[in-house]
Copies of this chain bind each other. A is one copy, B any other.
């Protein structure tokens, strides 16, 4: 019975290295240029669209909107329309989105902590020509 259950469980088969696996397209959405920053910003708490746009320095309205739609569709972000005049839209992380954002934050910490190593590598790089 429990083996049957295992066989039926598609979760065990998810493989980001396989080109058609759903996990690869989710990865692309959460790891996208603006996806990473939106998710990590939302760890700080709920954001309205305009405030989130200010936090994610440099993103256009259109790109942020597309990014949030993809994240909402994948179940990472919850979008709530609050009754108010004018109506307000607020974005929060789902439980899964929070887990993903924690992993992205850990990644960013490594990069920010080691930025001097990256700078040194860049100035020493000569290409493969």
* Residues on A facing B (Cβ under 8 Å): 10-11, 14-19, 22-23, 26-28, 30-33, 36-37, 40-41, 55-58, 69, 72-75, 79, 96, 99-100, 103-104, 106-108, 110-122, 125, 127-128
Cβ A30 vs Cβ B111 within 8 A:
yes
A79 closest partner in B (C-beta): B128
Main secondary structure of the interface of A (DSSP, over half): helix
Cβ A14 vs Cβ B56 within 8 A:
no
A75 to chain B, nearest CB (A): 3
Partner of A103, one of B22, B32, B110, B122: B110
Cβ A18 vs Cβ B128 within 8 A:
no
A25 to chain B, nearest CB (A): 9
Cβ A37 vs Cβ B17 within 8 A:
yes
Q: Taking A100-B107, A110-B99, A121-B75 as contacts, is the C-beta distance between A115 and B22 under 8 angstroms?
A: yes
Q: Which of A41, A104, A111, A125 has the most CB of B within 10 A?
A: A111
Cβ B15 vs Cβ A73 within 8 A:
no
